[in-house]
Amino acid sequence: MERIDDLPKRLIKSELKRRGLKVKDLVVALEHYNENLTEFSFNNKMSRGGFSAVFFLKCMKALGVKNLNLEC
């Protein structure tokens, strides 16, 4: 059974890969959503996995995601 706790992190990583982007690209895009992160702090946030729904949605918006498939 897959862990639901890991789903937001996996979705962000899969969207980065799907769009051919790097973490640094997302970090720069997140600046438009008042998230001032470094690649290091972003990666720490991802490894902890415990981030807010608002942060997840900011990532999706910054990546240009219009539709979200929860069966990844």
User: pTM to 2 decimals?
Assistant: 0.89
Instruction: Return the exposure string of 57-71: e unless at least 16 CB atoms fall within 10 Å of the residue's CB, then b.
Output: ebbbebbebeeeeee
CB atoms within 10 A of CB 48: 9
Residue 72 lies in a domain: no
Q: What is the mean pLDDT of residues 50-68?
A: 94
The range of the structural domain enclosing residue 48 comes to 4-62
CB atoms within 10 A of CB 11: 19
Q: Give me the number of domains the chain comprises.
A: 1
Percent of the chain past pLDDT 70, that is, above it, reads: 96
Residue 1 has pLDDT above 60, yes or no: no
**Res 48: pLDDT:** 87
Long-range contact pairs involving 46-51 (C-beta distance under 8 Å, separation at least 24): 46/9, 46/12, 46/13, 49/5, 49/6, 49/8, 49/9, 51/8
Residue 68 lies in a domain: no
